[in-house]
Amino acid sequence: MTYAIQRIAFSILSLFILLLTTFLLSHVMAGDPAIVAAGPNAGAAKIEALRQQMGLNDPIFIQFFIYCGSILRGDLGTSWFTQQPIAQDLLRELPPSLELVLLAMLINLAVSMPLGLITARYAHSKFDDMVRLVVMAGAGLPVFWIAILLQQIVAGNWGLLPIAGRLSFANRSFSGPTGFYLFDSLLAGNVSVFFDALAHLLLPAIALSLLFTAVGVRITRTSMINEFRKDYVTLARAKGAGEARVMFRHVFPNGATPALTVFGMQFGWMLGATVLVEEIFGRPGIGRYAIKAVTQSDIHAVVAVVLIIGVVFLVANLLVDILVYALSPRKQRAG
Amino acid sequence: MTVPLLELRDVTIALRGSNRRMVTGVGLSVSVGEVFGVVGESGSGKTLLTRTVFGLQDDTYLAGGTVSFAGRTLPLDGYMKAARKLLGGEVGFVPQDPYSSLNPTMRVGEQITEALYLAKRMPMNGTATRQAAIDVLGEVGIPEPELAFRQFPDQFSGGMRQRIVFAIALAQDPKLLIADEPTTALDAITQRRVIELMLDRCRTRGMAVILISHNLELLRQSVDRLAVLYGGQLHNIAETAAIGHHTIHPYTEALFDCIPSKGKTLEDIRAIRGEPAGAGFGLKGCAFASRCRYAEPICVESDLPLNSAAQNGFTACLLGRGAPQ
């Protein structure tokens, strides 16, 4: 329990640093917001009045304090472009992205963990070399290229999966309370929408997961190889345990922990990597929102995206660290 | 003559891939209930020999010779698989380092019940299995075995952990226990206690033991017979009781000369000059010749004699020193 509290306190400190960074990004780097807000034809008096009104003449730490306060209240400012509260925009854009990232992460884990374990057991075999080759190719190819290729071949030539979007035209009116279509469709008991949404998710998720899977396989392999060398593996074999038992009952639980930490970080990185995939597959989401915001110089929206990705990163790592701790013998003894 | 429990004849072990011969022409036999020692410096091939013979070494293979267990000769084809079948039932194993030989994320109790399940098909969660595990923990001298059953390995000291590892092997009731440097990681007093306890429990149950160590003094006090390995060659098999009373093999003698003891002056303690030969010396010439004070030209020119009959006493010395009396 004390560990969880320490770890949460550490996350709050990280959050504070994240807030400070985004604050500096928007308030210092962006130039004088009053000039921008006043428009190109405003006189000096108008700008000065605006500056007073926007609180830009206050000491910087007071501005920061106000900034933190409004963010904690859920106010991320108003988009200069959509004229909507940014928080509302993000609430709409985040679920499709998270849905995509969660599925991509699931694919990543489902491929990396077993493949890492098996290549570690048969390290330096032909199978291991082959996996390494494929994985290196996967890591070396650009995500956008893979995405276009998948779209072209699997969706275009073979017609197996939809090319773009979140749902088919027939289901266009579907909406649900959470914005996670996979979840909402099941909630509504609408299985056809569920499979439609899943089909639309599959290619983008595969494209997104590829690079991360390449890293995931390597990390898992390294971590498992380390475990295979230890004496407890010899002892397990000496007890007469078969290779399957040695791998799954002994090596895997010990080797998975270090790998899990990396997977936790990958979650945040993935959210940042949705930018290209969402654009190519024409899916709404935080990545596409970020591109729009950047091209329109919508500074507050950009900062809000940075902030939200940072927060997701922190939360994912916090959860993984607590999970890793909960799985460790140290914790099981205390609790 | 009764059938020995374990018999090796001309056993040669080579590295996978390069086929380099690491251990050549080893012949020895261990009888039922015997406490047998294997001694050698680091790199002499003693660990490689036992680990390969019982299928626990991935990067080496049995390149020649025969291994028989309880009268049954193991096939050379698919040797590793056949040897592994002996583990967890017929043969038990205590690895070197007690700090890493227990699974850190598995409770001590489960590690023992798993052993009972694997050797005797006892159900892992059965009450009888649990009681058997607690009993064996008590037998190896773990205080509060019920509590220990629920604990994790990192809650125990090195000596206690080695007792737990030993308990795992003991639970399976093997005919032969192989202890590979079981106490090297422990301090001298704990070492003695753990070894004495281990040998006492094994003798009570009539288990044969192969005790591998570089600590000759420890072996002399605890084993019946001793095999001496050097550079991957078998140099000597001697009864421990005879050592010090007859001429002994020059390498064995040199090893004993290094041990300080009561009544020895500093001049009596002689270090062996030169660097130890690694495993993989082959059979051409005596690996020890370059460091031996009795060495003659024949020692580097002739092939080393083999103990092909796996006799109880044996010397590989080309000058005939240390031949069994």
DSSP string, B162-200: HHHHHHHHHHT--SEEEEESTTTTS-HHHHHHHHHHHHH
Q: Which residues of A touch B (CB under 8 A)?
A: 230-232, 234-241, 249-250, 253-254, 327-329, 332-333
For residue B137, pLDDT beyond 90: yes
CB B92 within 8 A of CB B121: no
For residue B284, pLDDT beyond 70: yes
Q: Please tell me which of the candidates B93, B105, B119 has its beta carbon nearest to residue A235.
A: B93
SS3 readout for A219-283: HHHHHHHHHHCCHHHHHHHHCCCCHHHHHHHHHHHHHHHHHHHHHHHHHHHHHHHHHHHHHHCCC
Amino acid at B29: S
User: What's the alpha-carbon Rg for chain B, to the nearest Å?
Assistant: 20
On chain A, the residues whose CB falls within 8 A of the CB of B89 are 240
Give pLDDT tens digits for B182-209: 877 778 888 888 889 999 999 999 999 9
3-state class of B5 per DSSP?
A: coil
CB B208 within 8 A of CB B5: yes
B48 inside 8 A of chain A by CB: no
Q: Please tell me which of the candidates A232, A253, A333 has its beta carbon nearest to residue B101.
A: A232
- Total residue length of chain B: 325
pLDDT score, position B323 = 79
pLDDT score, position A335 = 46
Of the residues B85, B103, B154, B165, the best mutation for testing chain A's interface (the one with the most A CB atoms within 10 Å of its CB) is: B103
**Cα-based angle A161, A162, A166 (whole degrees, multiple of 5):** 125
Nearest residue of B to residue A251, measured between CA atoms: B103
B161 or B240: which carries more pLDDT confidence?
B161
On chain B, the residues whose CB falls within 8 A of the CB of A329 are 104-105, 152-154
% of chain B at pLDDT higher than 70: 99
Amino acid at B291: R
Q: What is the DSSP letter of B80?
A: H
pLDDT tens digit at each of 335 positions of chain A: 788 898 999 999 999 999 998 888 877 666 677 777 777 787 888 888 888 887 788 888 888 888 888 888 888 888 877 788 999 999 999 999 999 999 999 999 999 999 999 999 999 899 999 999 998 888 888 888 989 999 999 998 998 999 888 888 888 888 888 889 899 999 888 999 999 999 999 999 999 999 899 999 999 999 999 999 999 999 999 999 999 999 999 999 999 988 999 999 999 899 988 988 999 999 999 999 998 888 887 888 888 999 999 999 999 999 999 888 888 876 666 54
